[in-house]
Amino acid sequence: MDKSPNVVRHQPAVIRSRRETLNGHRSVNLWFTGLSGSGKSTLAHAVEERLHLMGCRTYVFDGDNVRHGLCRDLGFSPEDRSENLRRIAEMVHLFIDTGVIALTAFISPLRADREKVRSIVGPENFIEIYCSCPLEICEQRDVKGLYQKARRGEISNYTGISSPYEPPVAPDLTFDTNTQTVNECIKTVVLYLKEMGIII
């Protein structure tokens, strides 16, 4: 429900297209999705580093980092996960308006929630990147030790263990992060952005 019915949107003089012209590239959202440990954050930050070196204006929204601030009041119930992604989508929408390439690394386990993000951000601005990796490999990596806790029942609603993950049906890019190197993935993302006319 809209609790701000009397708010009128202000029309700025400096609009997205002017910012994109100044930046020398288009703005877009690269949405990295996959299980915990699949390499989403690693790849998102690596791609950002490459784009930064190319002179692009970028920003990475990382799942854990966002939960330290903007979404610190949310848990991991299905409802809270959905609200977490809604807030991120609204924030990303603003960043796209600034002309920035926004990279987002979130498990985002449910297709319905990812589709909601797509609708908020705008389908033309949303590039879905699936970091595919077998659960057993993600568990072997388990940098944070969270899979072990989930297996022991110490964490509820843990994606891949006690909560489902729904892989994208038709992602724009898919990487097998168990076999492909980070550099291989970076090159593919950069090439895709060039082919789409987002960067030169």
In a domain, 155, yes or no: no
In a domain, 147, yes or no: no
In a domain, 112, yes or no: yes
Confidence (pTM): 0.92
Residue 35 has pLDDT above 80, yes or no: yes
Among the listed residues 27, 38, 41, 108, the single catalytic one is: 108
In a domain, 95, yes or no: yes
pLDDT in tens, 77-101: 889 999 999 999 999 999 999 999 9
The model's confidence at residue 158, banded by pLDDT at 50, 70 and 90, is: very high
Residue that has been written with the tokens 């790849």 in this structure: 43
pLDDT value for 43: 97
For 23, phi then psi, to 5°, come to -75, -30
In a domain, 200, yes or no: no
Range of the domain at 117: 19-134+166-195
pLDDT in tens, 108-148: 999 999 999 999 999 999 999 999 999 999 999 988 899 99
In a domain, 36, yes or no: yes
pLDDT value for 51: 98
pLDDT in tens, 179-195: 999 999 999 999 999 99
What secondary structure, in 3-state letters, does the chain show?
Answer: CCCCCCCCCCCCCCCHHHHHHHHCCCCEEEEEECCCCCCHHHHHHHHHHHHHHCCCCEEEEEHHHHCCCCCCCCCCCHHHHHHHHHHHHHHHHHHHHCCCEEEEECCCCCHHHHHHHHHHHCHHHEEEEEEECCHHHHHHHCCCCHHHHHHCCCCCCCECCCECCCCCCCCCEEEECCCCCHHHHHHHHHHHHHHCCCCC
Q: Higher model confidence: residue 111 or residue 11?
A: 111
In a domain, 11, yes or no: no
Closest CA to 165 of 137, 119, 141, 130: 130
The number of distinct structural domains making up the chain is 1
Start-to-end CA span in the chain (Å): 42
Residue 172 has pLDDT above 90, yes or no: yes
Active site residue 4: no
Give the CATH number for residue 24.
3.40.50.300
In a domain, 100, yes or no: yes
Angle between helices 111-121 and 78-97 (to 10 degrees): 20
